[in-house]
Amino acid sequence: MSLAVKHRRLPLACVILLGLALAGGLLGACRQGEPETPAGPTGTPPLTGQPALPGPTSPPEGPAPQTQALTLTLWTTEAFSPTQEVPQGQILAAQVASLPDLRLWFILKQPYGEAGIQLYLLNTGAVVPSLLPDLAYVDVDEVDEIVRAGLAQPLDTLLSPNLVAGLYSFARVACTFEGGLYCLPIEADLDHLVYNSFRLSRAPVSWTGVISQSVPYVFPAGGEGGLVNDAFLVQYQALRPTLDESASSASFLDESSLVAVLQFYQDGASQGLFPQAILQYHTTDDSWQAYRSGLAAMAQVSAHRYLAERGQAVFAMPAPIPSIGGPAAPTARGWALVLVTPDPARQVEAARFMELWLSPETNAGWNRAAGTLPTLKASLAYWDPADAYTAFLHQQLLAAHPRPTVPGYSQVAAALQEAVEAVLTGALTPEEAAADVMSTAP
C-alpha cells in the first residue's frame, strides 16, 4: 500500500558505510545518531526450545550466528518480539519455543523513519543484500515499495490455500500486488464511531442523521504527517469506492465526490457540530480524548483505543461511522510479515513459522493481548462470544477495505488535507477547494 508518508533515503555516507558492513559490521553507524533500540531477544542466542530473554543489551547487526539447527533472522519492532514484559511477547515466546528444530533470531529496528525497517530493507538490499533478514515485520502501507524493489518474495505457493482464503478481504487485498500475495497480515486496526448513549438514544447512520442530531461530533481533521486523515478517506470512499492497484491518481479523484464530502464538513462546521478544534486533532486518540473530556457526544475512535479504555467510558457505545447514505465501510491498517529470503529451503521454514502464527487461536490470543484486531476470520471465535463488541468488530472487519494504493498518492493526500483545512476555516468553498485538488493530480 502507498498511503504512508514516504521517507528520505539514507545519505551517501550511510550508503558507503552499508557497503563496508560486510567487512566491519558498520551497519549500525547508519542510524544517524538514533539511540540504540532496546533489545528484546536480540543480542542472545537464537530462540529455540525454552527461550532465554535477555536484559537491556544492544542488538547485533548482520546475520545470526551459524548453528547446527536452521536459524531464521527476523527484523522486527518491540511490538512483535518475544519478551516476558508484555502479554503478547509471552505468547510469541511460547510459539517460538514450540519449534525446537527452528531457531528465530529477532533483530529490533525502529518502526518508521530513517532508522525504520522499510528503509533498512531498501538500502541494505541495494548495497549489501547478503545482510538482509529472512523475514521482516512491516507496516502494510510500506510493503509496496519493498515489493517494487524486488525484495519481497511471493507467498502463494508457500502458504496453505485455506489460510489465505480465511483472511478478511481487506487483509488479503492489502498484501496483493499484481495478482500475487507478498505479505501476511497479522494484526489490524480500524476506526469506528462512539456515541454517548446517555445523550443519544441511538447513533446516526448517515450525514442527515449527524446534522439532525445537533450534538458535537469530533474526528481528526488536522492531517497526519501532512496527509489527509482516514476520517476523510472513509467519507470519500463511501462515494468513490476503492480502486485496484492499477488505478492512477487522476482516476482516484472525482470532483463531485470531493465537493460532497467537503460540503458535509462545511455544513457541520457552520452549525457548530464540528468544532474548530478538530483541525488540531491529528489522530483518533485526539478525538477520543475530546470525547472523554465531554466536548462531544460522538467521536471517531480507533478500535485499539476503544479496546484499551472502553471500561472507563460507561456510556461510550460503538457504532459504524455514518456516511452519505448509510454506515461507512471502515479503512483498515496494520502490520504484516514479509518473506525476504530467496533461498527455497529457508522459505519453506519461514512459511512454517508464518502458518503457525496465523493459526486462529494464536492469532486471536496475540491480537487480544496486543489490543489489536485479528486478520483471520476464524480468530474472533476465540474472543468472548458473549461480548456484543466482538460481533460488531467482525462485521466491521468484513466490510473494511485497505488504504488506497494509488501512484503519487502522497501528493494527492497532501492536497486533500489543504482542501479540508481551507473549507473548515472558511477560506474556500467546497467547490473551490475541490477544484484546487483536481488541479494537483499527477
Condensed to tens digits (0 to 9), the pLDDT of residues 69-109 reads 799 999 999 999 998 788 999 999 999 999 989 999 999 99
CATH of the domain at 199: 3.40.190.10
163 within domain boundaries: yes
pLDDT tier at 346, thresholds 50, 70, 90: very high
Write down the residue that cell numbers 516476558 correspond to. 84
Tell me the percentage of the chain whose pLDDT exceeds 90: 76
Residue 407's pLDDT is: 77
For residues 305 and 302, give the distance between their C-alpha atoms in angstroms, rounded to a whole number.
5
For residues 65 and 13, give the distance between their C-alpha atoms in angstroms, rounded to a whole number.
27
pLDDT greater than 70 at residue 176: yes
117 and 104 part of one domain: yes
End-to-end CA distance of the chain: 18
**Which domain, by its residues, includes 180?**
12-187+334-395
pLDDT greater than 60 at residue 47: no
pLDDT greater than 90 at residue 283: yes
Region 51-79 average pLDDT: 63
171 and 208 part of one domain: no
304 and 382 part of one domain: no
388 and 406 part of one domain: no
421 within domain boundaries: yes
152 within domain boundaries: yes
Looking at 214-372, list the stretches that DSSP marks H as alpha helix, in order from N- to C-terminal side: 230-239, 249-252, 255-270, 284-292, 303-309, 344-357, 360-370
pLDDT greater than 60 at residue 4: no
Which helix H or strand E contains 70, and what residues bound it? strand 70-76
162 and 286 part of one domain: no
Region 178-194 average pLDDT: 97
pLDDT greater than 50 at residue 215: yes
213 and 312 part of one domain: yes
147 and 250 part of one domain: no
Region 356-384 average pLDDT: 96
pLDDT greater than 90 at residue 189: yes
> CB neighbours of 427 closer than 8 A, spacing ≥ 6?
421
Domain count, the chain: 2
61 and 37 part of one domain: yes
CB 172 within 8 A of CB 379: no
Number of H helices, E strands in the chain: 17, 11
Lowest mean pLDDT among 150-159, 180-189, 201-210, 242-251: 242-251
175 and 36 part of one domain: yes
142 and 226 part of one domain: no
6 within domain boundaries: no
Buried b (16+ CB within 10 A) or exposed e, 371-407: bbbbbbbbbbebbeeeeebeebbbebbebbbbbbbbb
Residue 243's pLDDT is: 52
Lowest mean pLDDT among 42-46, 52-56, 198-202, 218-222: 52-56
309 and 339 part of one domain: no
Of the two residues 20 and 325, the one the predictor is more confident about is 325
Of the two residues 303 and 214, the one the predictor is more confident about is 303
Q: At what angle do helices 12-24 and 117-127 cross, to 10 degrees?
A: 70
Region 16-40 average pLDDT: 37
118 and 224 part of one domain: no
pLDDT greater than 50 at residue 52: no
pLDDT greater than 80 at residue 61: no
Three cell numbers, residue 367: 491480537
pLDDT greater than 60 at residue 37: no
Residue 65's pLDDT is: 52
Of the two residues 401 and 45, the one the predictor is more confident about is 401
Three cell numbers, residue 315: 456510556
Three cell numbers, residue 236: 470519500
5 within domain boundaries: no
379 within domain boundaries: yes
pLDDT greater than 50 at residue 389: yes
pLDDT greater than 70 at residue 26: no
pLDDT tier at 240, thresholds 50, 70, 90: confident
Three cell numbers, residue 97: 519455543
Residue 17's pLDDT is: 36
135-139 and 102-108 as β-strands: parallel, antiparallel, unpaired?
unpaired
Residue 16's pLDDT is: 33
For residue 149, what are the CA distances in angstroms to 21, 72, 152, 153?
21, 22, 8, 11
Three cell numbers, residue 244: 485496484
176-177 and 70-76 as β-strands: parallel, antiparallel, unpaired?
unpaired
Three cell numbers, residue 431: 467547490
Region 398-419 average pLDDT: 90
Of the two residues 411 and 37, the one the predictor is more confident about is 411
Residue 197's pLDDT is: 96
For residues 257 and 268, give the distance between their C-alpha atoms in angstroms, rounded to a whole number.
17
410 within domain boundaries: yes
221 within domain boundaries: yes
